[in-house]
């Protein structure tokens, strides 16, 4: 296989695996946070405002980790510096 | 195998595995959130409005992680930039 | 092996594994949600209407993740863009 | 090995593994749901009607995931589009 | 190895692994269901009729998953469409 | 290696692994069921008749899964259709 | 390696692994059953007769799974049909 | 493959895996911290100020670990010293 | 490597692994049984006779599984039928 | 591949994996410590000063382990003694 | 490699792994038994004699499993029948 | 690859993996110790002096294990006896 | 590689892995025993003499398993019978 | 690769992995022991002297297992008998 194919192949596989593996942690973490929020609401309905506000801040923090993975995955698919270099090189050849 | 076949093969495998692995986390997380919502409802039926609203926001957050994986999977199958490049190259050849 | 065989082989394997692995999470998640619904019903029979309604919405969310996997699996078997391309190419050859 | 053998081999392996791996999740999930149903019945015998009805709806949802796997497994054995293509090709050869 | 041997070998391995892996989930699930049934009986002997009836329906659902695996395993050993095709081909040769 | 040896080798390995892996689930499941039966007996000695009867039905269901594996293992050793075919072929050669 | 050696090697490995892996499940299961029996005895010494009788029946069921593995292991070492076939063939050669 | 391709390939794979694996721990850890914060709020609403302040400091500490991984991932994609060296070398060649 | 060496090598490895893997289950199971026996003794010192007797019967059952593995391991080292066959063959050569 | 490429490749992979794997432990550990701190604050708000002080010392200890990994990762990327040696050698060649 | 070296190598590896893997189970089991003994002693100091006696019998049973592994390991290092055979053969050559 | 490259490569990989794997245990252990210290402080604020003193001694013991790994990692990078030997040999050549 | 190198290499690897893997079980087991001893002491300070004596006997039993591994590891490094044989052979050559 | 390089490479890898894997058990075990000591102190501050003394003896026992691994790791790096033999041989050559 020539260089371009190898880099394309590797970018595809890595883009997929990055978001796939990277979704495990945030999904578990968010599920856990939401679950506790619900049982906290059931236990102390008066504190609903504080609880939901803290929940949303927390979910945003956890979601940020998933977004790091999504960003890397999108960079690999659509703004891959190594692919651009190879394309440029092939064009300028 | 020529470049086109390799990229096709890798795209198929990655598209499948991305959504397969990426479904584990969200499914567990959502199952957990729904489960706690139900036991919270049983414990505090009066807070049903707050609980279901918080549940749906939480499920949406967790589902978003699954959707990142589905988006990457669909991109690989139907809008794959590397495949398009190879097809264009083969056509222009 | 020629290109067509390789793509067929890879599509078969990926279609099977996608739904197989992708069934783990939703099945666990739904089992957990159903289980909690039942113990919630036993604990608070008066809230049966709210509980079952929330359960069905939740199951639908979790099932949607399984359906993403099933959709990808069916696409790979019956509407595979890469296979169609190769068949078209072989026909037009 | 020629194309036909490879596709046959891969179909056999995938058909078996799909249902084997795909049976893990539903079996666990159903076992859990049934188990909770039983302890819910013991705790609140008066709600038996609601509990068993919810249980059967839930089991049907979980079973559906197992059936997705079984369907893919049967498609691979008896209605495999790739195998049919190869057989047709070999016949028309 | 010739095609026939490969298909035979793969069928043997897959038939064994399918039922072996496929027995894990149902066995765990049924063990769990039976265990809870017993502790439910000890807790509420008066509900024995409802509990055992629900248990048997539940066990039948879980067993059905094991039977899917057994069916695929038997199909691979005694009604394997790919093996039949190869035998027919070898006979008609 | 000739076809016969390959099939013999594969049959031996699969027969052993099938019963070995297939014994994990039933053994765990039965151990769990027996354990709960014993603690149920200690908790409610008066329900001994119902408990032991339900236990034996349950154990029979779980044992059936182990027996599926044992049956496949024995078929592979002593009534292997692929081996018989190869022996017949070698004899008729 | 000639056929005889291969079959001997495979039989040795499979015989060992079958009983090794196959001992995990029964040993755990029996340990669990015995453990619960002991705590049941401590809780309800008056039911000792029923408990020990149920324990021994249960242990026999679990032990039967271990014995399936031991039987397959012994068959592979001392009554291996494939080995006998090869020895007979070598003798009659 | 020439040196440049190898380094590009390895950088892509490592960048993806680093953030993917590195997201597991922080996502779990943050999910756990947020979950406990919520149940702490439900238990002691008066301490909300102290709890949320401690939570944010703690989340920042855990997030820092995720950021180490993201930094390494970005360095590998956009400021890779080895890639720069090879590019410089190729340019000066 | 000649046949004799291969069989010797495989026998050594299998003998070691059989007892090594096979010791996991019984050791855990016995540890658990002994542990429960001790806490049962602490809870009900008057039933010491029944408890220790049941414990020893149970330990014997679990130990029997370990002894199956030890027996297979010793057979492979000192009464290996395949090794004896090869030695006899080499001697009679 | 020449020596320089191999060392570059290995340094990239190791730098990424070191911080990726090395982030698992500290992230879990810190998440756990923060979680307990929060529930301790909820339980004993008067001891907030002691608790947060102990928490920060503890987090620093756990963070130190993550920093060891980050240091090794940075050394491999920017102050790699083996890379420097090879560069020096190549320059002095 | 000649036969003697292969057998030596395999004996070394197997001797090490046998005792290494074989130490996991007994060490866990004994740790558990000792732990329960201690908490039993704290709960019922008057039964110290019975508890410690039962503990020592139980530890001896668990230790016996570790000793099986140690015996096999020592046999492989110092009384290896296959090694002796090869040495004898080499000497008599 | 020549000797020097191989040793450099292996040293890099081992240095990274040693500290990466070696950070798992201490990070978990310290996280657990800190967590218990905090809940102990919340439960018994009067014993704060004894608790924090014991905590710091304990953390130092656990940290020592992480430092063993860091020391080995640094030795491999900066005081590697095998690398020094090879460099000396190459210089004296 | 000649025989001597192979045996040296294998001895080094096995010696390291034996003690590394073999340290897992005893370290967990001892940690558990010590932990229970401490909570037993807190629960029943009057039984300190019996508890610590039983603890030390138990730790000695568990430590003995670790020492088996250490002994095998040291034998492989400094009293390796196979290495001695090869050295003797090389010297007498 | 010549003998010396192979032995150096293997010694480096084994030294690193031995201490890395070998640090898992002791770190967990010590963390657990320290954690229980702290909660024991909180529960029974009067027994602080006995508890800390028992803790330190226990930590020393667990640490000894880590030190076995560190000793083997250091022996492999700085007093490796096989390396010394090869160096001596190379010098005397």
pLDDT in tens, chain C (93 residues): 688 899 999 999 999 999 999 999 999 999 999 999 999 999 888 888 899 999 999 999 999 999 999 999 999 999 999 999 988 888 876
SS3 category, M44 = coil
Residues of B in contact with A27 (CB under 8 A): 24-26, 28-29, 62, 65-66
Give the pLDDT confidence score for residue F91 in this predicted structure: 82
Chains A and D touching, counted as 3 or more CB pairs less than 8 Å apart: no
Asked if I47 and G32 come within 8 Å (Cβ–Cβ), the reply is no
CATH architecture of J3-88: Up-down Bundle (1.20)
Chains J and F touching, counted as 3 or more CB pairs less than 8 Å apart: no
Distance from CA of B63 to the nearest CA of C (A): 8
Percent of chain E residues topping a pLDDT of 90? 75
Q: What is the pLDDT averaged over residues E42-67? A: 91
Chains J and G touching, counted as 3 or more CB pairs less than 8 Å apart: no
- The CATH number of domain A32-93, selected from 1.10.10.10, 1.20.20.10, 1.10.40.30, 3.40.190.10: 1.20.20.10
| Optimal mutation site among M16, M37, M63, interface N, most CBs of chain N within 10 A | M16
CA atoms within 13 Å, Cβ hemisphere of M32:
23
Asked if C69 and B1 come within 8 Å (Cβ–Cβ), the reply is no
Q: What angle separates helix J24-43 from helix J3-22, to the nearest 10 degrees? A: 20
Distance from CA of D79 to the nearest CA of E (A): 10
Chains G and F touching, counted as 3 or more CB pairs less than 8 Å apart: yes
Distance from CA of A37 to the nearest CA of H (A): 6
Residues of F in contact with E69 (CB under 8 A): 68
Of F11, F21, F38, the CB nearest to G37: F38
Q: Which of J67, L31, L62, N34 shows the shortest CA–CA distance to H29?
A: L31
| Optimal mutation site among I10, I17, I65, I79, interface G, most CBs of chain G within 10 A | I65
Residues of F in contact with G37 (CB under 8 A): 35, 38
Q: How far, in Å, CA of D15 to CA of N93, rounded?
A: 62
Of N36, N62, N69, the CB nearest to M38: N36
Q: Which residues of chain L have pLDDT under 70?
A: 1, 93
Q: What's the pLDDT tens digit per position in N64-74?
A: 999 999 999 99
Q: How far, in Å, CA of K73 to CA of M76, rounded?
A: 12
CATH fold label, F15-87: F1FO ATP Synthase (1.20.20)
Residues of G in contact with F59 (CB under 8 A): 58, 61
CATH superfamily of H7-85: F1F0 ATP synthase subunit C (1.20.20.10)
Q: What's the pLDDT tens digit per position in I49-86?
A: 899 999 999 999 999 999 999 999 999 999 999 999 98
Asked if I55 and G70 come within 8 Å (Cβ–Cβ), the reply is no
CATH superfamily of B11-92: F1F0 ATP synthase subunit C (1.20.20.10)
A13 Cβ neighbours under 8 A, 6+ residues apart: B10, B13, B14, H13
Q: How far, in Å, CA of L72 to CA of M20, rounded?
A: 15
Q: What's the pLDDT tens digit per position in K78-88?
A: 999 999 998 88
Does CATH place domain E31-83 in 2.160.10.10?
A: no
Q: How far, in Å, CA of A18 to CA of A2, rounded?
A: 24
Give the pLDDT confidence score for residue G23 in this predicted structure: 92
Instruction: For the beta carbon of residue K90, count every other beta carbon within 10 angstroms.
Output: 12
Q: Which of B12, B20, D10, A5 shows the shortest CA–CA distance to C86?
A: B12
Q: Which of M42, A74, J59 shows the shortest CA–CA distance to N41?
A: M42
Residues of H in contact with J87 (CB under 8 A): 85
Q: What is the pLDDT averaged over residues B29-49? A: 91
Asked if L23 and J26 come within 8 Å (Cβ–Cβ), the reply is yes
Q: Specify whether the CB–CB gap between E63 and E70 falls below 8 A.
A: no
Chain mean pLDDT for chain J = 91
Encoded tokens for C52: 């079952």
Q: Which of H12, L70, N70 shows the shortest CA–CA distance to J71?
A: L70
Chains I and J touching, counted as 3 or more CB pairs less than 8 Å apart: no
Q: What's the pLDDT tens digit per position in G33-63?
A: 999 999 999 988 888 889 999 999 999 999 9
Give the pLDDT confidence score for residue H1 in this predicted structure: 64
Of B31, B34, B37, the CB nearest to C28: B31
Q: How far, in Å, CA of H74 to CA of H80, rounded?
A: 9
Does CATH place domain G29-87 in 1.20.20.10?
A: yes
Please say if the pLDDT value at position M20 is more than 90. yes
Residues of B in contact with A56 (CB under 8 A): 57
Distance from CA of D48 to the nearest CA of C (A): 9
Give the pLDDT confidence score for residue M93 in this predicted structure: 63
Q: What's the pLDDT tens digit per position in I36-52?
A: 999 999 988 888 889 99
Instruction: For the beta carbon of residue N91, count every other beta carbon within 10 angstroms.
Output: 7
pLDDT band at residue E4 using 50, 70 and 90 as cut-offs: confident
Q: What's the pLDDT tens digit per position in N72-92?
A: 999 999 999 999 998 888 887
Please say if the pLDDT value at position D70 is more than 90. yes
Distance from CA of N87 to the nearest CA of M (A): 12
CATH of segment(s) C10-86: 1.20.20.10
Asked if E37 and F18 come within 8 Å (Cβ–Cβ), the reply is no
Residues of H in contact with J31 (CB under 8 A): 25-26, 28-33, 58, 62
Asked if N29 and M25 come within 8 Å (Cβ–Cβ), the reply is no
Which subunits have 3 or more CB–CB pairs within 8 Å of chain A?
A: B, H
Please say if the pLDDT value at position E50 is more than 80. yes
J-L CB pairs within 8 A amount to 174
CATH of segment(s) M3-92: 1.20.20.10
CA atoms within 13 Å, Cβ hemisphere of N53:
9
Chain mean pLDDT for chain E = 91
Please say if the pLDDT value at position M92 is more than 80. no
D-E CB pairs within 8 A amount to 173
Residues of J in contact with H82 (CB under 8 A): 8-9, 11-12, 83
Q: Specify whether the CB–CB gap between N7 and M7 falls below 8 A.
A: no
Asked if H23 and A47 come within 8 Å (Cβ–Cβ), the reply is no
Nearest residue in G to I43, CA atom: G42
Distance from CA of K91 to the nearest CA of I (A): 16
In angstroms, the first-to-last Cα distance of chain F is 18
SS3 category, N1 = coil
Chain mean pLDDT for chain M = 91
Nearest residue in I to G4, CA atom: I3
Q: What's the pLDDT tens digit per position in I2-41?
A: 888 899 999 999 999 999 999 999 999 999 999 999 999 9
Asked if M36 and K39 come within 8 Å (Cβ–Cβ), the reply is yes
Q: Which of H43, B54, H61, C54 shows the shortest CA–CA distance to A59?
A: B54
Nearest residue in H to A11, CA atom: H12
In chain H (93 residues long), the average pLDDT of successive 10-residue segments reads: 87 94 93 92 89 92 93 93 89 74
Give the pLDDT confidence score for residue L1 in this predicted structure: 63
Of I24, I77, I78, the CB nearest to K25: I24
Q: Which of E59, B69, I82 shows the shortest CA–CA distance to A20?
A: B69
Enter the ipTM: 0.87
Give the pLDDT confidence score for residue H90 in this predicted structure: 82
Asked if K54 and I35 come within 8 Å (Cβ–Cβ), the reply is no
Of D1, D30, D56, the CB nearest to E29: D30
Give the pLDDT confidence score for residue D93 in this predicted structure: 63
pLDDT band at residue J1 using 50, 70 and 90 as cut-offs: low
I71 Cβ neighbours under 8 A, 6+ residues apart: none
Q: What's the pLDDT tens digit per position in J25-52?
A: 999 999 999 999 999 999 888 888 899 9
Q: What is the pLDDT averaged over residues D13-38? A: 93
A-B CB pairs within 8 A amount to 173
Read out DSSP for L41-66?
Answer: HHH-GGGHHHHHHHHHHHHHHHHHHH
Q: Which residues of chain F have pLDDT under 50?
A: none
Give the pLDDT confidence score for residue G26 in this predicted structure: 93
Distance from CA of L57 to the nearest CA of N (A): 9
- φ, ψ of residue A79 in degrees (nearest 5): -140, 40
Asked if J28 and H33 come within 8 Å (Cβ–Cβ), the reply is no
Which subunits have 3 or more CB–CB pairs within 8 Å of chain I?
A: G, K
Percent of chain E residues topping a pLDDT of 70? 98
| Residue L49: exposure state from Cβ atoms within 10 A (0-12, 13-18, ≥19) | exposed
Identify the residue whose tokens are 């490592």.
Answer: H14
Over its C-alpha atoms, chain E yields an Rg (Å, rounded) of 20
Asked if C33 and B31 come within 8 Å (Cβ–Cβ), the reply is yes
Residues of A in contact with H90 (CB under 8 A): none
- Helix, strand, coil percentages for chain H (3-state, nearest 5): 90, 0, 10
CATH of segment(s) D15-88: 1.20.20.10
Residues of L in contact with N70 (CB under 8 A): 68
Q: What region does F44 belong to: left with phi over 0, alpha with psi -120 to 50, or beta?
A: beta
Chains I and H touching, counted as 3 or more CB pairs less than 8 Å apart: no
């Amino acid at each position: 296989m020539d260089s371009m194919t190898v880099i394309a192949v590797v970018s595809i596989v890595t883009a997929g695996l990055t978001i796939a593996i990277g979704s495990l942690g945030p999904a578990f973490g968010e599920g856990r946070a939401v679950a506790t929020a619900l049982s906290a609401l059931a236990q102390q309905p008066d504190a609903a405002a504080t609880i939901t506000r803290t929940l949303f801040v927390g979910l945003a923090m956890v979601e940020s980790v998933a977004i790091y993975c999504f960003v890397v995955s999108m960079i690999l698919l659509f703004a891959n510096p190594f692919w651009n270099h190879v394309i440029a090189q092939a064009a300028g050849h």
